[in-house]
Every structure is written in C-alpha cells, then in structure tokens.
A and B are shown apart, each in its own frame.
Chain A
Amino acid sequence: MFLSTAHGDDDVAHTARAIEDSLYELRSKGTI
C-alpha cells in the first residue's frame, strides 16, 4: 500500500473502518 501527500486523515480513518467492517463480516460468515 502506498500513501500520497493527497491522502487525508478522513481517507485513512475510512479505510481502517472499512477493513474492520470487512473482517467482522468475514467472521460472521465463518470465513475467518
């Protein structure tokens, strides 16, 4: 993953939340 100077705090926070949501979804489906 590469960041740029154009990435903002909101982008990073959104990404971390999206990863967390995806992990919970995968856990709920029994994938992980």
Chain B
Amino acid sequence: MSVVPVATAALDTLAGGSSSPVRAGRRVGGQPFVCVRGEGPYAFDGDGRRYVDYVMAYGPLLFGHTPPFLRDLDALAARGVVYGSTAPDELALAERIRAHLPSMERLRFATTGSEAVQGAVRVARAFTGCDRVLKFAGNYHGHFDLALQDAGASAETSDARRSGIPRAVVDDLVVARYNDLDDIDRLLAHCGDRLAAILVEPICGNMGLVETVPGFLEGLRERATRHGALLIFDEIITWLRLGLGGAQARVGVTPDLTTVGKTLGAGFPLGAFGGRADVMAMLAPDGPCFTGGTHAGMPFAVALGLRVLDTLEREPELLIETERRARSLADGIRTAFSELKLPSTTRCATAASCCRPRTTR
C-alpha cells in the first residue's frame, strides 16, 4: 500500500482518515490507501504505481473500474441526473429485475444497499406488526442501527456500548449463529411469536467467506413461515455475482423480500428492495409504511443498471470466466500456503474469492 502525503492530510481532515472505516487500513496495520485512478482491474496510487485491485470498491465493480458502457456517461448526464419523478428507465429496470428475480413481485429503488435493507426490515415490521428481527452473527447488512450488531469484521467497533446504537434497537434484535438451525430454534422458543423477519445473507462475506450448509436456507424458509415472520434475503453481494437469478435461484428457496444493490449500479449508488405484492402494499402511499429518498431510483444510476443487465444477458460467459479465474486464484493461494505447511483457509464462491489465512509459528 502506498502512503503519499495526501494520506497524512486525510488523517487531519477526514474523521479517521476515510469516509468509511474499512478504508482506513488500520485493521491491516496501515494507513488509508489513496487511489488517484482506476482502470479495468487496476488501481493507481499517487506515485503512479499500479495495483491489481481485489477490493473492487467492496463489491460493486463487477466489470472493473472502467466498463465500456461508461462511455455513455456524457450522454446520460446531458439528460439530467435526477428528476424527482418516476422515469421510463426506472420502470424498465424494475421489470428487468423482476424478470430475473420473480420473488420481487413489487419493488422500490433506494439509493444504497443499506437503505434497501432498512426499507425491507421496516416493511416487514409494518406487515407483521412485530418489531423483532433475527439476523446472523457475521452477516453484514449495511450501516444502519439494527444492521450493525455483530455484523462481522468491517463493522467491529472498539466499544459496542458507546457505538451510538440505542439499547432499544439492540433489544429488538436476535443474533443467531450462521448455519446453525438448532441455535435458531433455541432463540425462537423465546421470541418466535414476536418475530417480524429473519434477515440473512445467502453467502456471508464479512467473516471470511462462508457459504450456507445444505438445508440451512430451506430451514429458515420453513421457520419463518411457521412463526408468521418474513424471510429476507440480502442479495446485495450475491445477486449478479451468482448469476442473474441470484442465490435464490441457485438454492431454490423463495424469500418474502429481497434486497439488491452494489453491482446493480456498476459503481454508482443504487439499491432496491422488493418481494410479495401483499407485503409491498404496506408501503406509502398505498399503505402506512414510508420509505423514500431524494436520490432513490436516480435516473443516472438506473440507466447504468440497465447497461449492467444488458451486458450480463448478452455475455453470460463473462461470469463463467470470472468464476474460473476466482477458483484459479483461490487454488494458487491455497498452494502457496500449503507449500510452507502454513495452516490456512481459502474459500471461493463464484466471482467472490476470499482468503482468510491463519498462521502460527
């Protein structure tokens, strides 16, 4: 990592040296990496050094920093970037998303993934009349209050009691062990009749990369139904990286609500949540549950979302090739550790590859 003078300046002007704590570099013993330019799979620092970038802005850059369709940006900007009204592209993108994720019978755009999950949780509470949400330790769902409890590596704080998250919010949360249906049953025995939602990432990427064991998501589906709660799949990372049908198509489990984001906007902020029509009917103006936002469904980002889907529909081999390369990288890392007889775990799931080595002397 390059530390150029601007990094030092950042420490003086930006709180913690960055606009998002995970970028500060402290968890790997460094300072903020200052990127001056991105191109394809590469990031460049102020000294002109080129890095193979595996951060990819923490997920959204499925096509790298400079996909060909970014050449359309000037033409898109010439139409204006935000209208404060519904736009034809917004309707087109909603229909295209629904075609790939039929469980999203109705959907609403948000500005970010965090807002999408926040909206999904709120409408689940409105629909069920219950407040309590069950989530899983290590699952990351954004930076709003409820989502941050036990949210994995990038969300850890030095003192959770002084994190600014109200005690009442935490009291409405039940945190279970991922991949452990027995733990869920134990928790549901105490709160199952007051549960609004079970919120889960179909693949977890914030405590290393952890895939679900067979039967886990099916077990969540059954338990949510049995307890009158809604099952929310947070597919903000998995949708598109696992294919156009997302994790739900791969595992054959239908959630009541789904959240998407990250790759959808190709680097521009764009999220969406949606699901059963009867649940989404709770949203204002049809119902009493308000979600919205000045930039929700921003035409500029929505237009890029259409180009993202155009690309993946036209060139399905792109994801297949990326998955092959991800597995190749994971194999290479695994081999490097094993040659030195270093204990390590390297997992790979489609286009998201994650290494979590453990080394001891």
Listed in ascending order, the chain A residues whose CB lies under 8 Å from chain B are: 1-9, 11-17, 19-20, 23-24, 27, 32
- What class of interface size applies to chain B in its complex with A? 35 or more
Contacting residue for A6 out of B41, B319, B329, B354, CB 8 A: B41
Q: List 23 interface pairs A-B (beta carbons < 8 Å), by A numbering.
A: A2-B54, A2-B56, A2-B59, A2-B352, A3-B41, A3-B54, A3-B326, A4-B61, A4-B63, A4-B64, A5-B62, A6-B41, A13-B328, A13-B332, A15-B54, A16-B328, A16-B336, A19-B332, A19-B336, A20-B336, A23-B336, A27-B340, A32-B359
CA distance A11 to B322 in the complex (A): 12
| Given A12-B325, A24-B340, A5-B52 contact (CB < 8 Å) | no
CA distance A3 to B335 in the complex (A): 19
**Interface residues as binary, B63-84 with A (CB distance below 8 Å gives 1, 0 otherwise):** 1111100000000000000000
Closest 6 CB pairs of A and B: A16-B332, A6-B64, A20-B336, A2-B56, A1-B54, A4-B64
Contacts of A2 in B (CB 8 A): 54-56, 58-59, 61, 351-353
CB <8 Å contact, A19 and B325: no
Shortest Cβ gap from A8 to chain B (Å): 7
CA distance A6 to B321 in the complex (A): 10
CB <8 Å contact, A4 and B62: yes
CB <8 Å contact, A6 and B352: no
Contacting residue for A12 out of B67, B329, B336, B340, CB 8 A: B329
CB <8 Å contact, B326 and A6: no
Contacts of B65 in A (CB 8 A): 6
Shortest Cβ gap from A16 to chain B (Å): 3
Contacting residue for B342 out of A3, A17, A32, CB 8 A: A32
Shortest Cβ gap from A32 to chain B (Å): 5
Listed in ascending order, the chain B residues whose CB lies under 8 Å from chain A are: 40-41, 52, 54-56, 58-59, 61-67, 318-319, 321-322, 325-326, 328-329, 331-333, 335-337, 339-340, 342, 351-355, 359, 361
Residue of A17, A20, A24 ringed by the most chain B CB atoms within 10 A: A20
Beyond A4-B322, A13-B328, 20 extra complex contacts between A and B, CB < 8 Å: A1-B353, A1-B354, A1-B355, A2-B61, A2-B351, A4-B56, A5-B351, A6-B64, A6-B67, A9-B325, A11-B41, A11-B52, A12-B329, A13-B332, A16-B335, A23-B340, A23-B342, A27-B340, A32-B342, A32-B359
CA distance A5 to B326 in the complex (A): 10
Shortest Cβ gap from B317 to chain A (Å): 10
Contacting residue for A5 out of B63, B353, B355, B361, CB 8 A: B63
CA distance A12 to B330 in the complex (A): 9
Contacts of B52 in A (CB 8 A): 7, 11, 14-15
CB <8 Å contact, B329 and A15: yes
CA distance A1 to B350 in the complex (A): 12
